[in-house]
Copies of this chain bind each other. A is one copy, B any other.
Amino acid sequence: MPLQPDRTIAELRELQELTGDENGAQRVAWTDTWERAREWLRGKVAGLPVEEEIDQAGNQWFTLRGASERTLLIGGHMDSVPNGGWLDGCLNVMAGVEVLRRLAADGTPAVTVRLVNWADEEGARFGRSLFGSSAAAGSMRDQDELRLLADRDGVSLPHALAEHGVDLDHATDARSQLESAGAYLELHIEQGPVLEDLDLPLGAVLGTFGVERHRITWTGQAAHAGSTPMDRRRDALAGAAKLALEIRGIAARAGDGAVCTSGGVVCRPGIVTSVVETAEQLLDQRHLDAGRLAAMLAEAKEASERFAAEENLEVSWDRIWSIEPILFHPELVDMCDASIEDVAGASHRLPSGPLHDAAEVARAGIPTVMMFVQSLRGLSHTKLEDTKPEHLELAVEALDHLTTEALAWVASLA
């Protein structure tokens, strides 16, 4: 049976019909709608010679036995944010299903191929993303914090998981799933504008950005807006404003797609009649190179101290979160790039800003690569999320092409 990329599009529309509404996709993990999506997926692969398994973290695996125990993994996630798009996560799974069909029709593959539907990539209900993949990758270290999480209705995370057969205390037992993995492939919509700007359907992903997130607190002195001469002020907003503008130069100097974002400033007292006493500024910096990420952070800190001196302010930094860059496997990146060129005539290598399940798998030491397909206007996490049908079909073809190459590569290593 030859690959039918248009079937993937038809199935994605069917899924949206089944699990979405007029506001978009509603497949939030650990809900009935999500369970319905998993059941529907089960039905889609029912005719194939694959075994299904739900692991201890709730990940749904479909295994096509090959000549070798070594496995090639293809992954995605059926869960969505509330009012989400029709592609984010489930495109990967359904393209994987189509590839499984083609492989099964071709007879026993050289190595075992497994399709995984990761549980709770989005973290939409409890605020903890990459749940299933981090459990399988062995990087989940926050069970004690997870135990205390509750959704907005007060339902605890452990309780919600238990309703879907997952015991939080044993979630990391899912780690055994990756034991024989030789490579991991993940297709995803880009969720950014780079490929659309380049007028290219597909790109090979170099890795996921390292991230440094900080809260920067500027402290000056509240003072009456009417009676305090300009040269006597210690205006905390001035420090934040200077840094909000300075980070553009920092990103430009770091190069290679570096991004710096000040997502907001909270001013106190924040009233029209007072100079700002404290300004709490959010800063997010990302780079694919750990050294240059560190340099970006150092440059921002240095600039903040210079601005604090200029404005007679105090400045302090608190790290909110950070993660190192995760580079995908160079041979697999080359393979992905070549597959895209074969199918689409041209390719582009780009970093991923958002994190993905692939980052967790790569952190676990499994050779990994992702393929991006163009997102119209870079939109995701909204019902406006879309990709041209011809690009979706190319994506399924390129993933299939890459699977053939990666399968041979894993077989050669085994």
Contacts and interface: CB of A to CB of B under 8 A. Distances in A.
Contact of A238 (B244, B273, B354): B244
A241 B230 contact: no
Interface string A59-88: 000000000000000000000000000000
B228 A353 contact: yes
A251 interface: yes
A371 B244 CA distance: 42
Interface stretch (A47-55, A113-121, A192-200): A192-200
- Contact residues on A (Cβ < 8 Å of other chain), bracket: 35 or more
Contact of A241 (B211, B241, B252): B241
A378 interface: yes
A239 to B, nearest CB: 10
Nearest to A190: B227
A191 B262 contact: no
A226 B271 contact: no
Contacts of A223: 378
A280 B213 CA distance: 24
Contacts of A241: 240-242, 244-245
A124 interface: no
A205 to B, nearest CB: 11
Contacts of A380: 224
A251 B284 CA distance: 33
A138 interface: no
A18 interface: no
A265 B237 contact: yes
B320 A286 contact: no
A282 B272 contact: yes
A218 B213 CA distance: 24
Interface in A20-76: none
Nearest to A197: B232
A interface SS class: mixed
A211 B226 CA distance: 9
Given A230-B248, A244-B237, A264 B271 contact: yes
A352 interface: yes
A354 B275 CA distance: 14
A266 to B, nearest CB: 8
Contacts of A248: 230, 238
A267 interface: yes
Interface in A283-323: 283-284, 286, 320
B264 A270 contact: yes
A388 to B, nearest CB: 18
Contact of A261 (B190, B225, B260): B225
Given A190-B227, A230-B260, 13 more contacts: A192-B226, A193-B228, A211-B226, A224-B380, A225-B259, A225-B284, A227-B353, A232-B378, A237-B265, A238-B245, A241-B241, A261-B273, A263-B267
16 contacts: A192-B226, A193-B227, A193-B232, A197-B232, A211-B226, A224-B353, A224-B354, A224-B378, A226-B353, A227-B378, A228-B259, A230-B258, A232-B378, A261-B272, A261-B275, A264-B269
